[in-house]
A and B are shown apart, each in its own frame.
Chain A
Amino acid sequence: MKLRLALSGLLLSLLSVGADAALSIQITKGVDNPVPIAIVPFSWQGDGVLSEDIAQIVMNDLEQVGEFRALSRSNMLSMPSEQREVYYRDWRILAQDYLLIGKINRAPNSQLVQVQYEFFDINREMKLSGEILTGSVTQLRDIAHTISNVVFEQVTGIPGAFNSQILYIVGEGEGPDNTTFRLERSDYDGARAQVLLESREPIMSPSWSPDGRDVAYVSFETDLPRIYIQNIASGERRQITNYPNINSSPVFSPDGTKLAMVLSKDGSPDIYVQDLLNNQLMRVTSHPAIDTEPSWTPDGRSIVFMSDRTGQPQIYQMALGANDYDVERLTYDCFQCAKAKFLPDGVNLVHVRRETRQNPTYHIAILNIETLRVINLTDTSLDESPTLAPNGSMIMYATKFNGRGVLDAVSIDGRVKFRLPSTQGDVREPSWSPLLN
């Protein structure tokens, strides 16, 4: 709670400096030319050793997304922890553009800690921002990510998403009858993973509610695929569907009041929308082919989906309440195009693409539906389940590495990639949270 209060004050102070900071700073043009930044280890005035190294977490955050290169600690000429100890010349000699320093104290008469950070522009010799954030020792990682957000936004003009989280599925164990399935949640970088559900039967298709409080997913725990919604904090869950045959692919509408899904109760898989307030079910597509993988357009008025009605998976769009013949086909130039979702601009479509029949490789790509230009973002061969960071800067997806499922992320322009640290088992189906407070 305290952290949240401190944060809102911080965002306000950001707005005041945001305008002129944005003018002087160009977003770097790639990993060839990352922004040099010095992140000095934060001093700690309390007893014992802190469980988290805030400066290291900030460094990992910033380097991971590719826009920054952090100065090695062993090359630092001084290690200031507050403004009066900062000599700009020390950092100019080292060709640094930015400097982040800070110190951590135990809050008076409490178990909480206070983290004071200050962020400087070396060339202009000015402090860009600074704040004291208060939280428990277990929140040090959150505080570090919050500082990363401030730095990232100051330099790039784009809000940071370092406080965001991901959901994903882990399958562990060999053989069809010997696998344990887990739905897990972690920080965006894989840290602090928590099990939300564990089952001997498959779990699939996790996706966040827009407020970040609930997750919808498919569980086979009754021996049949059924859709559930689970509150992330309390663990409380309810079964949403029990229709015959396939119940799959739940996706919340942008306003959170509806759930798009796939049901094959009427013969073949079709797209439906269930109203979560009155449980009314509306059928969107009715075609004897497979229609699946629904996603919402940013305005919440249409559904994008995959259909193999022409023989192979292609991507289509249909307005809610439209007639079957009012379906619009969005992809033509791929052998298979699937699992599509629009970026917030409503023009660029992230999808999984297999170019030709001859070459069975699947990549994450973006199609601009106005210019029809396609950008391939990945070069591994079994890439799927793309999910967008809440600030729109990166796409996380599942791929295979050494025969195991892993999660990779790529920047939206394809220049930067990172891989999440490997955990046990086969990891897949990432779903990136909305911005969380």
Chain B
Amino acid sequence: MAMQSKQIIKTGMLVIALSALVACKSSSDVEEAAAPASSSSSSASSSAAPSAPALSQEEIRAQNALRQTVFYFDFDIAEFKAEDRNTLTYHARDLAANPNKRIRLEGHADERGTREYNLALGERRANGILNYLVVNGASRSQIEVVSYGEERPAQTGQNEQAYARNRRVEVVAR
């Protein structure tokens, strides 16, 4: 239990830090978030939190981030793309805030290269995300990793478009 409350505090601090970050971000980002924020302010009355409007914006950002469950990789690269970093931070925070939540990271590769190497590459990709999630607050026990290598392509075909769609890690709720 102590563990859990500590995590919540940690999460709260992260949220504050992030909302500060949001405030400094480019105006277009703020605009995007601003519209839904006003609609959610009515529901804020049920919430006791003093920072309700900012938090709601943040909630929406978090929800959008959590909706992204597929992360794509460059050829022969095991590290996730820099642009996915923020999104994955939200996933990590969500796991930290919901200790009963369990996910599975499913790693995949495109068909080029040998099958057993691709199985290993899929695991390496999923482990990259696993490590990032754990460093950012998720518990190791919440996450299962499995690699399918090139055995479950999202799209068949011998072209770069199919290959790009197949080099991926999927976050699956358990």
- Taking Cβ atoms with an 8 Å cutoff, the residues of A that contact B are 171, 174-176, 179, 181, 202, 204-205, 220, 223-225, 245-246, 248-249, 262, 264, 268-269, 290, 292-293, 306, 308, 313, 336, 338-339, 352, 354, 360, 362, 382, 384-385, 400, 403, 428-429
Contacts and interface: CB of A to CB of B under 8 A. Distances in A.
A293 B117 contact: yes
A79 to B, nearest CB: 48
Interface stretch (B9-17, B57-65, B140-148): B140-148
Interface residues of B, number: 24
Given A174-B156, A176-B154, A245-B123, A306 B148 contact: no
Nearest to B104: A223
B170 to A, nearest CB: 9
Contact of B111 (A339, A352, A382): A382
A148 B117 CA distance: 38
Interface in B113-130: 113-117, 119-121, 123-124
B152 interface: yes
Contacts of A429: 115
B50 interface: no
Interface of B is mostly: mixed
B154 A205 contact: no
Contact of A339 (B114, B119, B145): B114
B151 interface: yes
Contacts of B26: none
Contacts of B67: none
20 contacts: A176-B153, A176-B154, A202-B148, A204-B149, A223-B146, A245-B123, A249-B116, A264-B123, A268-B120, A268-B124, A292-B120, A306-B117, A313-B117, A338-B117, A360-B112, A362-B113, A382-B111, A382-B112, A385-B114, A385-B115
A428 B151 CA distance: 11
B158 A290 contact: no
A338 B114 contact: yes
Contacts of A262: 116, 120
Given A248-B119, A290-B121, A339-B116, A179 B111 contact: no
Given A176-B152, A176-B153, A220-B148, A269 B123 contact: yes
Contacts of B152: 176, 179, 202
A47 to B, nearest CB: 49
A17 B48 CA distance: 99
A306 B114 contact: yes
Contacts of B154: 175-176
Given A174-B156, A225-B146, A246 B120 contact: yes
A217 B115 CA distance: 13
B156 A403 contact: yes
Contacts of B111: 382
Nearest to A179: B152
10 shortest interchain CB distances as A-B pairs: A202-B151, A176-B152, A290-B120, A338-B114, A269-B120, A339-B114, A292-B116, A293-B116, A249-B116, A292-B120
A354 B123 CA distance: 22
Contacts of B117: 290, 292-293, 306, 308, 313, 338
Contact of B115 (A220, A290, A384): A384
Contacts of A385: 114-115
Contacts of B123: 245-246, 264, 269
Given A176-B152, A224-B146, A385-B114, A246 B119 contact: yes
Interface string B132-174: 0000000000000111110111101110000000000000000
Contacts of A181: 151
Contacts of A268: 120, 124
Contacts of B148: 202, 220
Contacts of A264: 120, 123
Nearest to B163: A360
A382 B115 contact: no
B146 A290 contact: no
A20 to B, nearest CB: 46
B121 to A, nearest CB: 7
**Residue with the highest number of chain B CB atoms closer than 10 Å, among A175, A176, A224:** A176
Interface in B69-126: 111-117, 119-121, 123-124
A331 to B, nearest CB: 14
Nearest to B108: A176
A35 to B, nearest CB: 36
Given A339-B116, A382-B111, A245 B121 contact: no
B153 A352 contact: no
Nearest to B148: A202
Given A262-B120, A268-B120, A403-B158, 12 more contacts: A176-B154, A202-B151, A204-B151, A220-B146, A246-B147, A264-B120, A290-B117, A336-B113, A338-B114, A382-B158, A384-B114, A428-B115
A264 B113 CA distance: 19
Nearest to A175: B154
A313 B113 CA distance: 9
Nearest to B160: A360
Given A224-B146, A245-B145, A400 B119 contact: no
Contacts of A292: 116-117, 119-120
A290 B154 CA distance: 24
Nearest to B126: A245
Contacts of B145: 245
Contact of B116 (A202, A220, A248): A248
A260 to B, nearest CB: 12
Nearest to B159: A403
